[in-house]
Amino acid sequence: MMKTKTINHVTAEQLLAEYKAGTSFFLASPHKTLLAQGIFATVPTDGYEHKQMQILEHVKKVLQDAKQHGISDNPIVVGAIPFDHMYSAQLIVPSEVKWSGPLLFGQLNSQIEQNVTNEYEVKPVPSPQEYENAVEQGLSRIKAGDLRKVVLSRSLHLTSSEKVDISHLLRKLAVHNPNGYTFAAELLSEANKASETKGSRTLLGASPELLVSKSGLQVIANPLAGSAPRSEDPEEDQRRANALLSSAKNRHEHAVVIEAVANALRPFCKTLNVPEEPSLIHTETMWHLSTVISGELSSPSITSLELAFALHPTPAVCGTPTQLAKKAIQEIEPFERGFFTGMVGWCDGEGDGEWIVTIRCAEVEDYSLRLFAGAGVVEGSTPEEELAETSAKFRTMLLAMGLNNDILK
């Protein structure tokens, strides 16, 4: 029987260097870094509609079995869960786990920046004009009173004559997004789920948004909603930040999300702290309205994955009312989101864990990538502004690829 190794005495930079596309799971947060390699066991998750309790039971059993077989004192499940519950999640117990502190880059930054980038052919799906039309459809449904908010997305299909260097992209994402959550997870096909052969696709990105984390009885969620592109001019950048913080439209969009997240967490908590006012956070490319919600759970048996299921999908990536917004997305968006706006993370045998919203991401397969970006449509939104917001959100991945927004024109 293969024993899972849990190693803690390595640097985060070493873990990033050891990442291997096809066999690794990687997640770097502002506080810790995780590298999981190989597959000890998989969790049955096919078509998880109405089956979240079954999946939680499967996870519990797999982790108990792993511990009983001496795999680890505290084994973990890692993986990704899609936006739409009609599709299969990807959860595994890895055969090797390594932990470290946060990434701290020295000379690695300049070494990464010197690498040459691929050239890509680009196909937007939908086209910019079609996306603006989609926003108009969303606004019509909001005006009719069916919805308060709907999040509408678009994608970029990029193809290169050279194979995509996933490890290099992951390093670039980590360098450019030190305060976010940099991740890479394999999306295994049915044929190789139980093996350690190369996955058919890799989900990678640098998300600014923590869905939920749980440590003991402490729970934290950090929903983001309401965004503005950053500017290279410091004065203009500060003006945009101040405008976002005082924007009635964006504060309304944010309040809708905070209300939903708080309502989803309350049944699990003894206490819950919800700040009355949002704050500002920024990435390299965007300003966001942010609220850190924290609480004390009513029972230590509540797991991070159970909390993540209760929250997913939030209005930040779907809309509200949730089911009507999902129906609108299915009818309006001309592509399947897959794992975009899903969640990626880990949960251990004690229920502790961390789940990140899979935004600012791409699915990579051999010579191609699918990039995704979305924007929340509410009363007061305009098609032009939402198109500009999605273009700005694409920049997280494009910068890591050595590209700029000129390819969107």
Active site residues: 149, 209
Structure tokens at 150: 């709907």
Can you tell me whether residue 1 is helix, strand or coil?
coil
Can you tell me whether residue 95 is helix, strand or coil?
coil
Alpha-carbon gap, residue 374 to 84, rounded angstroms? 15
Place of tokens 């502190």: 101
Contact yes or no for 253/227 (Cβ under 8 A)? no
* Gyration radius from the chain CA atoms: 20
Per the rule left: phi > 0, alpha: psi between -120 and 50, beta: everything else, 174 is: alpha
Residue 205: CA count within 13 A, CB half-sphere: 29
Interacting residues of 76 by C-beta distance below 8 A, sequence separation 6+: 36, 63, 93, 94, 97, 346, 347, 348, 349, 353
∠ CA 56-61-65, nearest 5°, is: 150
Contact yes or no for 307/317 (Cβ under 8 A)? no
Alpha-carbon gap, residue 253 to 226, rounded angstroms? 6
